[in-house]
């Protein structure tokens, strides 16, 4: 009888260990939810539409991230907000990941950028390059020669919170800051500013959709500046999921060379 009881106890303990092992593996295999914050203005062709994520053609970056969900065992949840607010949300760890931000030293307080072994910014892991260009009225003689403004005597508009604001101010340009692209356009039409500088990936599609503005506004083709833009992770998320974040950086940075994403990229050409 004693032998039977001991045998039963051993079987019971073994079963408990098996169940514990299975539960641990189930927990380990649970999908990680990643809250992604991105600006409420399209960045063509990476994020399309304003204020929401489009269902059919959301943009190259969104489609690639969604295609990685199964491989990485994650679920990306997207939220669109105004640029400055997006930075504040990431800084307070209320979101896990930001699409996208250029690098400024003080933005390291906001979140984690990809770094190399020397703890320097790793430009090889950028998500893309974006160019800021000058827009002015078609009858204006304002120009940019690649180094300097020509015939600049008034204010230049720029979106509040964008890194280009500091660039312009550091070059002794009088800047009129606006909270939206439409604010720049309206000020230019009203001749309250002489021109404005913004990302062509935002303004070109906007003018295409609004021909009444495109009829009177011209783009100066030579970029004011071209900058690398990055996915930025919150400090809290990166501390807990650094290996996952590193993998996301690497996969997104290599998207143009990866044949797996050719069909996605071709869709937006």
Is residue 262's pLDDT more than 80? Answer: yes
pLDDT of residue 250: 94
- What is the extent of the structural domain holding 194? 129-227
Verify that 240 and 122 share a domain, yes or no.
yes
**Could you tell me the end-to-end alpha-carbon distance of the chain, in angstroms, rounded to an integer?**
78
Interhelix angle 181-189/200-209, nearest 10 degrees: 60
Cis before residue 100, ω within 30 degrees of 0? yes
**Proportion of the chain above pLDDT 90, given as a percent:** 70
CB 189, CB 216: distance < 8 Å: yes
CATH of the domain at 221: 3.40.190.10
Look up residue 148 and give its two tokens: 């300097």
Mean pLDDT of 212-239: 97
Verify that 90 and 142 share a domain, yes or no.
no
- Size of the chain in residues: 269
Verify that 61 and 192 share a domain, yes or no.
no
Verify that 124 and 146 share a domain, yes or no.
no
**Confidence class for position 260, pLDDT limits 50, 70, 90:** confident
| pLDDT tens for each residue of 34-77 | 999 999 888 999 998 877 888 888 999 999 999 999 999 999 99
CB 214, CB 207: distance < 8 Å: yes
Domain total for the chain? 2
The pTM (predicted TM-score) of the whole model is 0.81
- Whether 10 is covered by a domain: the verdict is no
- Weakest-pLDDT range from 3-7, 243-247, 249-253: 3-7
């Amino acid at each position: 009888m004693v032998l039977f009881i001991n045998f039963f106890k051993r079987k019971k303990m073994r079963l408990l260990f098996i169940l514990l092992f299975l539960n641990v593996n189930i927990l380990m295999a649970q999908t990680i939810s990643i809250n992604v914050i991105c600006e409420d203005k399209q960045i063509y062709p990476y994020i399309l539409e304003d204020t929401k994520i489009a269902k059919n053609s959301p943009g190259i970056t969104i489609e690639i991230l969604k295609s990685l969900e199964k491989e990485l065992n994650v679920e990306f949840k997207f939220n669109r907000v105004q640029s400055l607010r997006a930075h504040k949300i990431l800084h307070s760890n209320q979101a896990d990941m930001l699409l996208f931000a250029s690098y400024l030293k003080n933005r390291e307080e906001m979140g984690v950028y990809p770094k190399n072994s020397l703890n320097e910014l790793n430009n090889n892991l950028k998500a893309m390059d974006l160019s800021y260009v000058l827009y002015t009225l078609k009858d204006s003689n304002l120009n940019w020669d690649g180094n300097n403004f020509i015939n600049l005597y008034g204010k230049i508009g720029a979106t509040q919170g964008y890194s280009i604001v500091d660039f312009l101010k550091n070059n002794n340009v009088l800047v009129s800051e606006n909270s939206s692209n439409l604010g720049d356009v309206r000020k230019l039409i009203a001749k309250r500013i002489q021109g404005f500088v913004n990302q062509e990936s935002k303004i070109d599609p906007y003018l295409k959709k609004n021909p009444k503005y495109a009829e009177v506004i011209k783009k100066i083709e030579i970029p004011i500046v071209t900058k690398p833009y990055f996915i930025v992770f919150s400090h809290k998320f990166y501390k807990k999921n650094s290996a996952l974040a590193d993998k996301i950086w690497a996969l997104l940075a290599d998207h143009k060379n990866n044949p797996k994403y050719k069909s996605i990229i071709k869709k937006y050409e």
